[in-house]
A and B are shown apart, each in its own frame.
Chain A
Amino acid sequence: RKEVEQDPGPFNVPEGATVAFNCTYSNSASQSFFWYRQDCRKEPKLLMSVYSSGNEDGRFTAQLNRASQYISLLIRDSKLSDSATYLCVAGGSSASKIIFGSGTRLSIRP
């Protein structure tokens, strides 16, 4: 079983919709969590960190549920430019071992 698991999608939603992704992690000792965005044939770029209290950045909200060992990303009022692959990340068996999920593909249609 992979340490970090995501639904690969694709999610195909209309512009303006709200979409949510979940990601589960297996290492209960993980301390750091992130969401990344990756465009086709480009490097991943940090979207946001995920904090225990939840955090928001504009249209994006990230949540962490330690009891159930999952993190989530909510995108409100989706734009065409949000089309990308979203990667969730959890610190692995040591704090410095950062493990990525396989990614969830999102496609926003006009």
Chain B
Amino acid sequence: NAGVTQTPKFQVLKTGQSMTLQCAQDMNHEYMSWYRQDPGMGLRLIHYSVGAGITDQGEVPNGYNVSRSTTEDFPLRLLSAAPSQTSVYFCASSLSSNYGYTFGSGTRLTVV
């Protein structure tokens, strides 16, 4: 049972480049979310989804897009990378809001 799988684990981007962070879960969870974590800021919600075809904005959605075409996958797209997007990105999934989230191991992104 792989749980929540994030790829890549590390990435360096140049300002203005775009890329997609991948997230996949094999637990048949309906709820999936993307968070970013910066020093002293805790985890901030970027986008979340309650099922295939349904997404919504979190606390800090600007500069990011998501889609949820299948239950398993929830990719996060950076449209035009900026140094302010340097962070650790976590994807998480849950059966429902009454259950805690299971997190992936994170993607460490540096934008230069």
Binding site for B on A (CB under 8 A): 6, 8, 31-32, 34, 36, 42-46, 49, 87, 89, 91-92, 94-103
With A8-B40, A32-B98, A102-B40 known as contacts, the answer to whether A97 contacts B58 (CB < 8 A) is yes
Binding site for A on B (CB under 8 A): 31, 33, 35, 40-45, 48, 50, 56, 58-59, 90, 94, 97-106
Contact indicator A98/B97 (Cβ below 8 Å) = yes
With A43-B90, A44-B43, A102-B41 known as contacts, the answer to whether A97 contacts B101 (CB < 8 A) is no
CB-defined A-B contacts under 8 Å, sample of 28: A6-B42, A32-B98, A34-B100, A36-B100, A43-B104, A43-B105, A43-B106, A44-B90, A44-B101, A44-B103, A45-B103, A49-B100, A91-B97, A96-B31, A96-B97, A97-B48, A97-B58, A98-B33, A98-B45, A98-B94, A98-B97, A99-B45, A99-B59, A100-B42, A100-B43, A102-B40, A102-B41, A102-B42
